Amino acid sequence: MSAIDVEIHGGDDWSPTSVVEDLEGNGLEDGVPEVEEVESGAGTEGIGKRKRRVGERQGEMDDSPSKRGHGGTLTADEMRQLLSQPMMEMKEAWGRLERRVDKVEGTVAGQKKEIKAVHARQKVMDQQLQGVQAKGDATSRRVDSVEGDIASLKAKIDEINLSRGGETGEGHPVDPWGDYLKNKNAMTNGMAQGM
């Protein structure tokens, strides 16, 4: 801070947020700094620049509500009122955000319950599948055993057929009972003829 700033603002304890009680006597009239008019010399005006009138600067200051000096300085109540509006908006926005977060948390909690139910069903289905696989393996072993038994029975039948003479040269199987009946009939007929 320069020496002039310290004198204007009241020493080292000045802060930009402090409320100024008296603006008279420090070069500020109605909160607006006085503008010194400078004589323009030859060549100070550039191309495209225009001269400003002293009143024009004051008019610009009156356009902005924050730069108006006729209302005096802001009091603490006015400052609170100015700051309370954004604070209320922030509180409303925060409330909306909290409601949205609560809604999302509720949805997530519901989804967690659904996921637990799905996991429980999946576990039961896995156990049932393991049981079916075990039964399928046991059935497969039994089928293999039955196939082996059938193959051994076929082999025994073939052995029996071969031991009894098997098939005749004509490709017909030997029929011992049929042969017996033929022989018996032949004997009976032969005896009947011989008598």
The 10s digit of each residue's pLDDT in 76-124 is: 888 888 888 888 999 999 999 999 999 999 999 999 999 999 999 999 9
Domain residue spans in the chain? 3-37+49-73
pLDDT of 74 > 90? The answer is no
H or E element in which residue 179 lies: helix 176-194
69-78, 99-108, 166-175: which is most confident: 99-108
* % helix, strand, coil for the chain, step of 5: 65, 5, 30
